Amino acid sequence: MYPENILQLYNYKCHAPTEVSTEEEKESFCDLLQKTYEESPSYDVKIIIGDMNAQVGKEEVCCPTIGKHSLHERTNDNGHRLIQFANLNNVVISSTMFQHKNIHKSTWTASDRSFESQIGHMVIDARHMLYLLDVRSYRGGNVDSDHYLVIARMRA
């Protein structure tokens, strides 16, 4: 179970349960994410960036919630949960909206460098999507992690 303070208003940083976590853990996280999102003022720009452990595919049925530029072809269970959250709250998964080389899409790499995945995402409310110029990962940042930095450029 996730403690109430794992997400803070105005400072959405997420670390979702992994794909192999129990249904209870996943539901607990989704409930907390939803509650936190609903409690924040509706007039604020709401941005969620984090390790969602969600592989979002390129399924046509999910557009316009997701983009066409995901690293993955198919969506996993956590990805479906993220898409469901996005649809329920009128937000978009902007990390799959911009065309980049695959090297700039992956957000996590296995410790032996044998596998890379796009599991870190940026979610923004759809009405503010116009302000978003780009979202991609950067490999150069030394963050002492198996994750890459995900950076968004926005227009003020």
Q: How confident is the model at residue 13 (pLDDT cuts 50, 70, 90)?
A: low
CATH homologous superfamily for 4-154? Answer: Endonuclease/exonuclease/phosphatase (3.60.10.10)
- Taking the C-alpha atoms of residue 115 and residue 1, their distance in angstroms, rounded to an integer, is 29
- Whether the per-residue pLDDT at 140 is higher than 50: the answer is yes
Q: CB–CB of 106/71 below 8 Å?
A: yes
- Taking the C-alpha atoms of residue 110 and residue 60, their distance in angstroms, rounded to an integer, is 29
- Taking the C-alpha atoms of residue 22 and residue 97, their distance in angstroms, rounded to an integer, is 30
Q: Hey, where are the domains in the chain?
A: 4-154
- Taking the C-alpha atoms of residue 152 and residue 84, their distance in angstroms, rounded to an integer, is 23
- Taking the C-alpha atoms of residue 51 and residue 123, their distance in angstroms, rounded to an integer, is 11
- Whether the per-residue pLDDT at 43 is higher than 70: the answer is yes
- Taking the C-alpha atoms of residue 145 and residue 70, their distance in angstroms, rounded to an integer, is 22
- For 75-84, write each residue's pLDDT tens digit: 999 999 999 9
> What pLDDT is recorded for position 12?
52
Q: Residue ranges of the alpha helices (H) in 14-142?
A: 23-39, 77-89
Write down the pTM of the prediction.
Answer: 0.87
